[in-house]
Structure 1
């Protein structure tokens, strides 16, 4: 399942929610095709159902290994802080299978945190927070047809 949202503030950011079902292998090529379609910069958040020590899980599996390699090959940044994101009630254990991934430019402006309450789910809500620097670049444009050229000329003479 895939949900996509593009946000335009002073900068444009693509935000995507992704779900990869458990026990169904996703080929690296399919993952590459998906990520190639996303306008940059982007944040992808979702249930990847993959295990790796790199994002805080207690074990590493095939999908986790493949994701680690894919992220490194493409210079994508995993934003997770190492906190657990999922409670497996049948085994009374916690896992880290929910990931947030970003392009380097946006990852530097983003912080990741898991909520401490499940809020009725088996996944902890994840908070991604953009720094205020993300909106700091405002493009200024001028309409030269509306300029007061006489005043401009006078001001230039004064300096």
Structure 2
């Protein structure tokens, strides 16, 4: 799912081609929200303008649903009516899962806050099974750790190899030290495993791994 936040200033020409390009190239389903400064009765405005009609055609072209229910999203001022220029557009496949509403406290702004709730479960990503053993660092033999580490690391600078191989060798030494000097206990079958955050996936894991190798 992708979220696209939009602000289209009223004083600048509405670039429909750019908006269409952005919507076409983000993952689907998607959420498109923001201040479009576009007026259309379909949004809850009192009248249409060219920008509003153009935006409405884009919404139809990309099979988006308008979550706005006609409620104004701006605060009325003398000689200025309230309007619904802050829009929430979503892919039709998730529209039935969304709840949109306007908060009644502008907090001093010309715009009222709009809120969108999506009733979906976070997607789970592929992950290897948890390590059945856990190290007990409180019972580590640090004297032995220091003694072995002096010997192991004394030859590290003399290794003439690529940075990646040198890094892997260094990590191997640390793991070997840990296994020799720190006891372990097995995790029970009912040990709770923290659920991953909903925005983390395998691509994030790959990026972290690549970043670690580069540095």
TM range (shorter): 0.7 to 0.9
Question: Structure 2: which 5+ runs fail to align?
Answer: 130-215
The aligned length equals 129
Q: C-alpha displacement at 1:41, in angstroms?
A: 1.3
Report the counterpart of residue 119 of structure 1 in structure 2.
107
Please say if 1:63 is aligned against 2:51: yes
Asked if 2 retains the 8 angstrom alpha-carbon contact of 1:78 and 1:99, the reply is: yes
Distance in 2 (CA, whole Å) between partners of 1:16 and 1:54 is 21
Please say if 1:24 is aligned against 2:25: no
Task: Supply the RMSD in Å over aligned alpha carbons.
Answer: 2.1
Distance in 1 (CA, whole Å) between partners of 2:27 and 2:128 is 28
Higher strand proportion (structure 1 or 2): 1
The 4+ residue runs of structure 1 with deviation greater than 6 A are 139-143
User: Normalising to structure 1: TM-score of the pair?
Assistant: 0.72
Q: Are the structure 2 counterparts of residues 118 and 31 from structure 1 closer, same or farther at C-alpha, using a change threshold of 3 Å?
A: same
Please say if 1:104 is aligned against 2:123: no
User: Normalising to structure 2: TM-score of the pair?
Assistant: 0.55
Q: Which has the higher contact order (CA 8 A, sep 6+)?
A: 1
Please say if 1:135 is aligned against 2:82: no
Please say if 1:74 is aligned against 2:37: no
Higher helix proportion (structure 1 or 2): 2
Greater C-alpha radius of gyration:
2
